[in-house]
Amino acid sequence: MPAILTFIDLKEAVSSGEIDTVLTCFVDMQGRLMGKRFHGVNFVEISFEETHCCNYLLATDLEMATPDGYAASSWERGYGDYVMKPDLTTIRRVPWLENTAMVLCDILDHHNHLPISHSPRAILKKQIVRLKDLGFEAKMATELEFFLFEKSFDNIRKDGFQNLEPISGYNEDYHIFQTTKEEGVMRPIRNHLYAAGLPIENSKGEAEAGQEELNIRYSNALACADHHSIAKHAIKEIAWQNGWAATFLPKWHHDRVGSSSHVHQSLWKDGEPVFYDPAAKHGKSNLMDHYMAGLIKYAPDYTYFLAPYINSYKRFAKGTFAPTKTAWSVDNRTAGFRLCGENTKGVRVECRVGGSDLNPYLAQAAMLAAGIKGIEDMMDLPPATTGDVYQDAKAADIPQTLRAATGTLRNSQFLREALGDDVVDHYTRAAEWEQEEFDRVVTDWEISRGFERA
């Protein structure tokens, strides 16, 4: 039976006992899978139509708190229901869980069954439609970087997240011997995800001790975001099953390299890549120039969607392969945007700004909106930067703190036009809350630095 199941396939598998549990999942603001576990029979008989969830799930934080200040849901509004509408084209087996399948859901209004505008999947779908109206389809791929640790999540939490030990003792970038030692968890990750219908390409060691990278083949934008979210969830579960812990925190230690999530993107029409022009410099078309110009111009506006937490900004540091500038360059990993596949049909732009903690739906939607704006306004692409872009004083800076990125998000007329005022206000409040929560905490660094000497 194929990894991606039709609804008829699912009914047959439930009838035969091959599947007894169906995970009905949606993606929350943080990019996590939320939902319910249905008995297979109930799902195929009734709940495939719809089920419900509390609307606070799209107005919360990493701790599942219920912050004030959201227009969409609040204590005053009573925290009612949303409809979870299964997208039956996303049914798949979950090979790392016994007799289990999964389906992704869209979030709808309980009263009129219209999409909830600030739902991450709805935000991305809106930009896909806008791009389709221009005659194009986006192809995207994300890279998932993460760290593996020797202890389990539970043990690390009980130890107060202190004395963290990665599973290796040295930089393992492309290192076959070290990654052989980690195949006990990485091989199941690759194989289970492939069996679940994700087009897995490879895994590799990354540029730090215990750091891994998983690469998934490019696909249309919505499938790319679905693949990313499922893979991130699976990596944590499979690591947990093996007694290890996986973290997508962008910067877990100030002396260690951070984790990113680079996003590759190109536009297609009638099955052909429209970013490619063999007669043009670098093989990139005028359309690609306009798209990239929009990406670069509006990068400060949408940085929050690439770096949504306080910790996200600790990653932006010179000499770490994490960019600090919005400039583009040709096959240059010091730039915020890298031209890849020069002079080939695979020519594309890689955004290197995003951290491993990004929500792929929000990040991809914001970048598509910026690219669309570049095309609509026929923006001119500035010349490529060369050399060490970290040292380029003329290149614009990426916002360096969550507070700064919140300001550019709040004041972005471009994003308000592309995403809607309600969406921008909703995620601005999420950013403000994250900052407020951090500002009230006294950190270990402050105490050790000033306890005696202040």
pLDDT for the residue numbered 193: 97
Let me know whether 137 and 104 are in one domain. no
User: Do the domain assignments include residue 313?
Assistant: yes
* DSSP string across 206-249: -SSTTEEEEEE--EEHHHHHHHHHHHHHHHHHHHHHTT-EEE--
User: How confident is the model at residue 391, as a pLDDT?
Assistant: 82
Residue 22 belongs to domain spanning? 7-116
Residues 50 and 131 in one domain: no
Cα 326 to its chain centre, rounded Å, is 19
Of 82, 116, 150, the one marking the end of a domain is 116
In a domain, 33, yes or no: yes
Query: 357 and 286 in one domain?
Result: yes
- Residue 353, H or E segment: none
Give the whole-angstrom CA distance, residue 131 versus residue 128. 5
Contacts of 34 (CB under 8 A, 6+ apart): 25, 26, 27, 28, 53, 57
- Residues 284 and 352 occupy one common structural domain: yes
Phi, psi (degrees; rounded to nearest 5) at 85: -105, 105
Tell me, yes or no, whether 45 lies in a domain.
Answer: yes
List phi, psi (to 5°) of 423: -70, -45
Q: What is the pLDDT of residue 1?
A: 47
In three-state secondary structure terms, 148 is: strand
Largest CA distance in the chain: 70
Q: Is 410 a domain residue?
A: yes
Q: What is the pLDDT of residue 218?
A: 96
The amino acid present at 7, given as its one-letter code, is F
Query: Residue 406 domain-assigned?
Result: yes
Give the CATH number, domain containing residue 314: 3.30.590.10
Residue 161: inside a domain: no
Q: How far is CA 166 from CA 163, 178, 256, in A?
A: 10, 12, 11
Show which of 81, 116, 151 is a domain's final residue.
116
CB atoms within 10 A of CB 421: 12
Domain CATH for 56: 3.10.20.70
Q: Report the pLDDT value the prediction gives residue 75, as an integer from 0 to 100.
A: 85
Strands 337-340 and 328-330 turn out to be parallel
Instruction: Give the three-state DSSP class for 202.
Output: strand
Whose structure tokens read 């806008």? 130
Does 418 reside within a domain?
A: yes
Residue 441, pLDDT above cutoff 90: yes
Locate 38 and state its tokens: 């249905």
Name the domain count of the chain: 2
Q: Which of 116, 150, 171 is the last residue of a domain?
A: 116
Q: What is the mean pLDDT of residues 441-446?
A: 93
- Whether residue 108 is predicted with pLDDT greater than 70 in this model: the reply is yes
- CA separation for the pair 394, 386 (Å, rounded): 12
Task: Give pLDDT, residue 194.
Answer: 96
3-state secondary structure of 434: helix
| Banded pLDDT at 379 (limits 50, 70, 90) | very high
| Amino acid identity, position 120 | P
Average pLDDT, the chain: 94
Q: Is residue 175 part of a domain?
A: no
137 and 284 inside one domain: yes
Per-residue pLDDT tens for 345-373? 999 999 999 999 999 999 999 999 999 99
| Distance between start and end Cα atoms, the chain | 67
Same domain, 73 and 136: no
CA distance 134 to 132: 5
Tokens of 416: 């308000």
Same domain, 111 and 255: no
- Segment among 86-95, 140-149, 381-390 with least mean pLDDT: 381-390
Residues 20-79: tens digit of each pLDDT: 999 999 999 999 999 999 999 999 999 999 999 999 999 999 999 999 999 998 888 888
DSSP secondary-structure letter at 273? E
Whether the CB-CB separation of 206 and 148 falls below 8 Å is answered with no
- Shared domain check, 353 and 269: yes
pLDDT of residue 2: 63
For residue 400, CA distances in Å to 248, 414, 426, 433, 443 come to 20, 21, 22, 18, 20
pLDDT, tens digit, 9 for 90 and up, residues 287-341 = 999 999 999 999 999 999 999 999 999 998 887 778 888 889 998 888 889 999 9
Residue 314 near residue 418, CB atoms below 8 Å: no
| pLDDT tens per residue, range 403-434 | 999 999 999 999 999 999 999 999 999 999 99
Cβ(139)–Cβ(129) below 8 Å: no
- Please provide residue 320's backbone torsions phi and psi, each rounded to the nearest 5 degrees: -120, 5
Residue positions counted in the chain: 454
Question: 301 and 414: one domain?
Answer: yes
Q: Residue 401: count other Cβ atoms within 10 Å of its Cβ.
A: 15
Q: Are residues 242 and 111 located together in one domain of the fold?
A: no
pLDDT on residue 326: 87
Which tokens is 85 given? 């509408």
Q: What is the CA radius of gyration of the chain?
A: 22
H/E element, 18: none
245-274 pLDDT tens trace: 999 999 999 999 999 999 999 999 999 999
56 plus 134 within the same structural domain: no
Rounded to an integer, what distance in angstroms lies between the CA atom of residue 396 and that of residue 156? Answer: 39
Residue whose tokens read 């599973």:
167
Residues 423, 302 share a domain: yes
User: Hey, how many other C-beta atoms are within 10 angstroms of the C-beta on 129?
Assistant: 9
